[in-house]
Amino acid sequence: MNSSAFYEDNEALLSTDSRRRESVVSTTISRGGDNEVFAQQLRHNLKIVFYFALWYALNVVYNIINKKLLNEVPAPLTVGSIQFGIGAFYAGFLWLVKLRPAPKLTPAGKNICWRVGTYHASGQLLSMVSLGAGPVSFTHIVKALEPFFSALVSALVFGKWMKPQVYASLLPVVGGVGYACLKERSFSWLAFWTAMGSNVAFALRAVMSKSAMTSYIGENMNAVNLFAAVTWAAFFLSIPVFLLGEGTSFLKMWAQSTTGENASTTPGELTRALILSGLFHYLNNEVMYLALSNVHPVTLAVGNTMKRVVIMVASVLVFRNPVSLQAGIGAAVGISGVLLYSLTKQHYEKLEAAEKE
């Protein structure tokens, strides 16, 4: 074998070995990249699960305190306005002591916060009127339709429609929760229309808030500061509403509950309940905004609908309300619907991403 052939064979071997090493390195890098993407997605999903779990927990506590409070002082408009005020001053305190950076809104940002604040206040107000105008179960049935309103409003605002199969997957969520809440067949047009109005208001709140989160509306405008600004707007807007709707009846009810022979509580206990209800109302909605910053408004609406099942379970544990077979079946169907919606939406998002590639 001559030296030229020997060197040619050696070069061929070295070239083959080099290509193999490059292939191994490339595969390793690719796998490493895939692992990093998977880890990021896992962290993101766990964060969303944490937000939803915390939102549910805080909301359950709020509903328990609020129910006990309204049993003593049945003035929902005044109590609701005070709760907005407690939340607003809590947020203002955090800005004042610089635990959170204070936002600096642009003129467009101020306009958006006032609009969202209007939706936030009116949604809460209409819910309370509906609960007072008819059976509680009837209001929950109508409000179980919220995902459909959110889907329609988000499509109109963002100009992007999801696949029909995704919308169809909302049916078992709405149907299951509605069936679980169906106890009485009493019908009230006032309860119906105010609950429907609340659905529209909360759908607009979620979609417009999501739009604000993806736009520049000022400095330090993250999800929590956005909700804080919205709460201040809702507080100011709710003041004339409770004054016109209930006047000073709150003070008379307070006196009846805390003084005299028929007093059922003390001023200190009622004050503590009022402050706690305001704080938990604010905190549970603040966490809801953190969840919204990570999910689609329709996903949030689905979570809000399923929250009714969680409240139902909490009601059983705290107030010893019995659970019927109907409620159990409806809850199971609703939970299964949430899983179906999640898998269907994820499936079509992957197909859409693959088409773009």
Q: How much of the chain is in helix, strand and coil states, percent to nearest 5?
A: 85, 0, 15
Average pLDDT over residues 208-224: 91
d(CA 295, CA 275): 30
Model pLDDT for residues 312-342, shown as the tens digit of each residue: 666 666 656 566 777 678 767 776 777 787 7
Q: Side chain identity at 332, as an amino acid letter?
A: A
pLDDT band at 6 (very low <50, low <70, confident <90, very high): very low
Which three-class secondary structure string do you get for 260-277? CCCCCCCHHHHHHHHHHH
Instruction: Collapse the DSSP code of 135 into the 3-class scheme (helix H, G, I; strand E, B; otherwise coil) and give the result.
Output: coil
Token readout for 171 is: 């049916």
The angle formed by the CA atoms of residues 28, 29 and 32, to the nearest 5 degrees, is: 85
pLDDT in tens, 129-182: 776 666 666 666 677 777 778 888 888 877 778 788 888 888 887 787 777 666
Span 81-131, pLDDT tens digits: 999 999 999 999 999 999 999 999 999 999 999 999 999 999 988 887 776
Backbone angles phi, psi at 219, to 5 degrees: -80, 145
Q: Residue 13's pLDDT is what?
A: 45
Secondary structure in 3-state letters for 244-312:
HHCCCHHHHHHHHHHCCCCCCCCHHHHHHHHHHHHHHHHHHHHHHHHHHCCCCHHHHHHHHHHHHHHHH
302 pLDDT higher than 70 = yes
Q: Residue 245, Cβ neighbours under 10 Å: how many?
A: 17
Q: Is the model more confident about 206 or about 14?
A: 206
CA gap 121, 119 in Å, rounded: 6
Does the pLDDT value for residue 290 go beyond 90? yes
**Other beta carbons less than 10 A from residue 36's beta carbon:** 10
Comparing CA positions, the residue from 147, 136, 137 lying closest to residue 174 is 147
Which tops the pLDDT comparison, 262 or 46? Answer: 46
Lowest mean pLDDT among 16-20, 49-53, 127-131, 262-266: 16-20
User: What is the pTM for the complete model shown?
Assistant: 0.77
Mean of pLDDT values over 209-236: 93
Mean pLDDT of 202-230: 91
Which pair of tokens denotes residue 322? 């019995």
More confident residue, 222 or 152: 222
Q: Tokens for 222?
A: 């993250």
299 has a pLDDT exceeding 90: no
Whether pLDDT at 14 is above 50:
no
Which of these, 288, 323, 344, 309, lies nearest to 171 by C-alpha position?
344
pLDDT at 197 over 50: yes
Of 107, 87, 103, nearest in space to 95 by CA = 103
Q: Name every residue whose Cβ is closer than 8 Å to that of residue 47 and which is 6 or more positions away in sequence.
A: 294
Average pLDDT, rounded, for the chain: 81
